[in-house]
Structure 1
Amino acid sequence: MEKRGRVKRHSCQICQASFTRNAYLKRHLQTHSGEKPFSCEICGTAFLRKSTLNSHIRTHTGEKPFSCDVCAFSFSQKSTLKTHMRTHISETLYSSDGVCRSFPPSLMDVKEKPHSCQTCGSSFAVISALKRHMQTHSGEKPHHCEACGSSFSDISNLRKHLITHSSEKLHSCEVCGSSFSVKSALIRHVRIHTGEKPHSCKTCGAAFAEVSYLKRHMLTHSGVKPFFCELCQSSFSDKSAMIKHMRRHTGEKPYCCELCGSAFSYSSVLKNHMRTHTGEKPFSCEICGSSFSLNSSMVKHMRTHTGEKPYCCELCGSSFIDKSGMIKHVRTHTGEKPYSCELCGSSFSQSSSLQIHMRRHTGEKPFSCQECGSSFKAKSHLKMHLRTHTGEKPYNCDLCGSSFSQSSTLKKHMAAHTKDKPQFSEMR
C-alpha cells in the first residue's frame, strides 16, 4: 500500500505533472508563466527560486562555503563539491573497517565513474559530465551570447560571461585601479600584482594562479595527447593548444586591436599589446619601483639587481640576462646575418640594425631633439646628441680621470695611454 505522504494529489493542468504538495505545484507553475520573483540586486538577473539566487550571489561575492576535506579546494555550490570529490576516488580513502575517513557521510555516494570517453579514456560519474567533456573534442559550443556573439560549451560559462556586459563594475583593484563585474575576477587579477599561485601540482610541485591552468598542466603528466596536427603530426593534450599551434602554419591572426588595427595570433599577445595604448604597467619591481607592462620584462629587469645571467655562450663563456641577448652574441662568433635589406642586399645580425639601415633609403629620421630640432635615424644617436646640450660625460678614464660623452672617444683616449707606456724592451 502506498504511503499517504507519497500520494501526488496536486496536478498541473498544462503539462499534467503531479506533486505531493500544493506549494510544489505553485513553484512548478512559475516555469510555465515565466515568472522569476527573485532578482539579483547587483546585476539584475532574475531567478525562479531563492536558493538559485543565493548560489548566483556567490559569483559576485566570491564566497565558496563548501570545502573539500581531502585537498582543501573550496566551491560555491555543494553540487560542484560532490563532482570534485570524484577526482579523489582513485586514492586510498578507506580504512580497514571499510569506512571512508576522508569524505563526510553525505558525500560517500560518489564511488563510480561508469561513463567513459571513447576518444581519450576519461571517465565520469554522471552522463551529463561526459557530454560536456565530449564538447572539448568536438569543439561544439551550443550556448551563445546575444550581446557579442561569443559561444561557450557550458551554460555556466555563458552566465559568467554575461556579467561582463553589465555596465556595473563594483570590484576595483587597489593597486592599478582596474575594475571588474565579479569579485572572483578581481581576485584572479590581484594575483598579477602579488605573484600568488595558490594551485599546486601534487606530482611535480608546479604552481599556478588559476585552477584551469593547473587542470591543463595535469594532462602533461597523464601523457594523453589525443589531438594531432594534420600538417606536422605534433600532438596536444587539449584542443585549444592544437588550434593555437595551427596558426603557426596558417598565419591566422584572429585577434585585432580596435585602436590601431594590429592583428595577433593569440588573445594573450593582444592583451599585452593593449598596454602600449593604455600605458598600464601592472608589474612593479620591489627593489627600485620600476614598473613594466609585461611580467617577463620585470623578471629580466630583476636580474639587473641580482646580477643573475642564466644564459651562457658555449663558445666563449660570456653570460647574459636574457636568451635574446645570448642569441645576438652568438652571431658575433658564427657571422650569421639573417636580416637582409630588400633594396640593396645588405645583411645584419639584428633586426633593429636592419630597421636603422632602412632609414638610409627612406630618409626617415623619427627621433628629434626638443632643444634644437635636429633629427636622427636611431634613438641611440639622439641620446648621444643630447649630451652636447646637457654636458653629460658618463664615460670615465680609470687612469687619469678624464670623462667623455661617447664610449668611442674614451676608447681612443685609452689607446693614447697604452701608446705612452714604455715597452718591456725599453725597460731592460
Structure 2
Amino acid sequence: MKAEKPKTYSCEACDFSSTRSTSLAVHVRTHTGERPYHCDVCGRSFAQNSVLKSHLLTHTDARPFSCEACPASFSRKQYLTVHVRTHTGEKLYSCDVCGCRFAQKQYVRVHMRTHTGETPFSCDVCGSSFAAKSRLHRHMQTHTGTKPYSCDVCASAFAQKVHLHAHLRTHTKEKPYHCQICASAFANNSALTSHIKTHAGVKPFICDVCDATFARKEALTIHKRTHTGERPYTCNVCGSSFAQKQYLRVHGRIHSGEKPYQCRLCDSAFSVNSRLKRHMQMHAGHKPFSCGVCASSFSQKEHLRKHMRTHGGEKDESQTEQ
C-alpha cells in the first residue's frame, strides 16, 4: 500500500508552501504584518511566540549562548551565529549589483538602497530620510545635542560610541578595514564600502546638470552643491559655511585649537591629516617640487610658489614637479 502524499499548504500571496499548516500561518504574517505575541515589559510585538520568548531574555541578564573565541555572550542563538562571523570573516550574502558581501541578509537589504536611492525612514523634525532605521536614530541625536561619549585624548565628544571608536583611530592611526582587491586600508567600514565601489565601477547616481556619475547618493548630493552654491553647514563661532559637514568639522579646529594628527618624529601636530603628510616629506627629505629657474627644490608646492617670487613673480609650475 502506497503511503499517502502529505498535504501541502500554499500561500495565496507568493510561492511559499509547507506541509505544516502552522508554518503557513506564521508565513502569512509576513504579508499581513500581524504580530499577535506581545511583550508585557516594553510593549513590542512579534509574529512568532518563539521570538517573543527569546526577546524576553533581553529584559533579564540571561545570556546562555557564549562565543568560544571571545568572552561575548548572547540571549539568542542566532545572535551568536552572526557574531561568530566577526571572527571567521564569513560573509554569506552578496549584492547582485556590485558584489559587496555581508554577514547578514538584512545588511544586503539595507545596502541595496544605496543603489535604488530608497530612504524609507524619515525624521519628523527636519524631513531628512535614511536607508536604515539605525541611521535615523543616530540622526535624531543631532537634534537633541546629546553627546555622552568623550575622547580621553582630546576634547571631542560624540553622540554614539561607534563614532568615538572611529575618532580614536585618528589618534592611533589604526586602519583595520582592508580592501581585498588592492592594498588600501581604512579607519572605518563605510569608507571601505565606498572604496570597493570604485573597483566595481558601479555609478548609478547621475547629476542632471553635468552628467557626472557617482557610486553613492550622498556623493551626488554633495556634488550638486558645486552647481547650486549651497553651503548648509555653518560654524556657530564665526558664521563660515561649508558644503560638507567634514569641512565644518576641520574648520572647527581653528577655534578649538585641536590638532589630532601628530608627527611621530617630532612634536609637531596638525589639524588635518593632509598637512601631516606634507610635513612628513620634510623628515623624509623628499622634495618633488623643483624650480625651473635655479636648482632649488622643495617638499611642498606652496614653498616653491614663495620661492618663485624671488625670481620676479609667479611662474608656471606645471613642469616643475619631478
* Short-chain TM bin: 0.5 to 0.7
Q: Does 1:310 align with 2:263?
A: no
- 1:218 aligns to what? 196
CA distance in 1, matches of 2:102, 2:189: 19
Paired AA for residue 136 in structure 1: T
1:186 to 164, 176, 180: 164
- 2:177 aligns to what? 199
Q: Does 1:289 align with 2:267?
A: yes
Q: Does 1:252 align with 2:230?
A: yes
- 1:30 aligns to what? 38
- 2:245 aligns to what? 267
With over 3 angstroms needed to count, the CA separation of the structure-2 counterparts of 1:210 and 1:64, relative to structure 1, is farther
Which of structures 1 and 2 has the bigger CA Rg?
A: 1
CA distance in 1, matches of 2:102, 2:261: 40
SS at match of 1:259: coil
User: Is this contact kept in 2: 1:284–1:292, CA < 8 A?
Assistant: yes
TM-score by length of 1: 0.50
With over 3 angstroms needed to count, the CA separation of the structure-2 counterparts of 1:248 and 1:163, relative to structure 1, is closer
Deviation sequence 1:72-130 (CA, Å, 0-9, x none):
xxxx8745877x99xxxxxxxxxxxxxxxx898xx9xx57x6x855xx79899999666
Paired AA for residue 320 in structure 1: F
CA distance in 2, matches of 1:162, 1:77: 29
Paired AA for residue 291 in structure 1: A
User: Is this contact kept in 2: 1:64–1:77, CA < 8 A?
Assistant: no
- 1:239 aligns to what? 217
Deviation sequence 1:205-234 (CA, Å, 0-9, x none):
011101111111111111222333333333
Q: Does 1:320 align with 2:298?
A: yes
With over 3 angstroms needed to count, the CA separation of the structure-2 counterparts of 1:230 and 1:163, relative to structure 1, is closer
Deviation sequence 1:250-301 (CA, Å, 0-9, x none):
2221211122221111111110111112222222223332322222222233
User: Is this contact kept in 2: 1:180–1:186, CA < 8 A?
Assistant: yes
With over 3 angstroms needed to count, the CA separation of the structure-2 counterparts of 1:65 and 1:279, relative to structure 1, is same
With over 3 angstroms needed to count, the CA separation of the structure-2 counterparts of 1:53 and 1:245, relative to structure 1, is farther
Shift, 1:140, TM fit: 3.7
SS at match of 1:49: helix
Deviation sequence 1:375-421 (CA, Å, 0-9, x none):
xxxxxxxxxxxxxxxxxxxxxxxxxxxxxxxxxxxxxxxxxxxxxxx
User: Is this contact kept in 1: 2:119–2:129, CA < 8 A?
Assistant: yes
Shift, 1:135, TM fit: 3.2
CA distance in 2, matches of 1:247, 1:136: 20
CA distance in 2, matches of 1:124, 1:189: 24
SS at match of 2:198: helix
- 1:280 aligns to what? 258
Paired AA for residue 267 in structure 2: G
With over 3 angstroms needed to count, the CA separation of the structure-2 counterparts of 1:278 and 1:51, relative to structure 1, is farther
Paired AA for residue 35 in structure 1: G
With over 3 angstroms needed to count, the CA separation of the structure-2 counterparts of 1:333 and 1:132, relative to structure 1, is farther
Correspondence 1:367-406 to 2 at 5 A: none
CA distance in 2, matches of 1:255, 1:222: 32
Deviation sequence 1:353-393 (CA, Å, 0-9, x none):
xxxxxxxxxxxxxxxxxxxxxxxxxxxxxxxxxxxxxxxxx
- 1:142 aligns to what? 120
**Number of matched residues?**
270
Q: Does 1:49 align with 2:28?
A: no
State the superposition RMSD in angstroms: 4.7
Shift, 1:165, TM fit: 6.5
- Unaligned residue ranges in structure 1 (runs of 5+): 12-16, 18-26, 38-47, 55-62, 67-75, 86-101, 339-428
User: Is this contact kept in 2: 1:36–1:49, CA < 8 A?
Assistant: no
Percent identical among aligned pairs is 41
- 1:94 aligns to what? none
- 1:299 aligns to what? 277
User: Is this contact kept in 1: 2:206–2:220, CA < 8 A?
Assistant: yes
Paired AA for residue 198 in structure 2: T
- 1:345 aligns to what? none
- Greater relative contact order (Cα < 8 A, sep 6+): 2
With over 3 angstroms needed to count, the CA separation of the structure-2 counterparts of 1:180 and 1:244, relative to structure 1, is closer
TM-score by length of 2: 0.63
Paired AA for residue 175 in structure 1: V
CA distance in 2, matches of 1:327, 1:53: 65
User: Is this contact kept in 1: 2:308–2:315, CA < 8 A?
Assistant: no
Q: Does 1:173 align with 2:151?
A: yes
CA distance in 2, matches of 1:176, 1:126: 35
